[in-house]
Amino acid sequence: MSNPTDTVSHNTYFDGKVQSLGLQTTDGKATVGVMKAGSYEFGTSSPEKMIIVAGTAKVSLDGETWNTYGPQGIFDVQANVKFQISCEADLAYICYYE
């Protein structure tokens, strides 16, 4: 068994409809992930910077206003809040944890 830090960490959410892979970057800890079509609520424990890699997401940070982000779209989420993401087709993203 190789040293655990030698292997990529893999996380699964919402019955496998959202999955992510962890990595360390020059900008700190990050995950790249994929979401199947659907609507999801996430909670943050630290500030997050989300960048869309492929696909389009509708995002609400306050439960009322929704903004749409396509590839290279960026949005920041504060620590200790919940936010909603909805996508009508598969979505890929990278999330940086600040």
Residues binding a copy of itself (CB under 8 A): 2, 6-8, 10, 12, 15-27, 30, 32-36, 53-55, 89-92, 94
Residue whose CB is less far from a copy of itself, 2 or 45? 2
Q: In angstroms, what is the minimal distance from the CB of 27 to a copy of itself?
A: 8
Structural tokens at position 54: 């492929």
Shortest distance (Å) from residue 65 CB to a copy of itself: 26
Q: Considering beta carbons, is residue 1 or 65 the nearer one to a copy of itself? A: 1
In the complex with a copy of itself, the residue whose CB is nearer, 10 or 80, is 10
On whether the CB atoms of residues 91 and 50 are closer than 8 A, the answer is no
Distant-in-sequence, close-in-space partners of 18: CB < 8 Å, separation ≥ 6:
12, 33, 34, 35, 36, 40
Q: Which of 43, 39, 90 is nearest to 66 (CA)?
A: 39
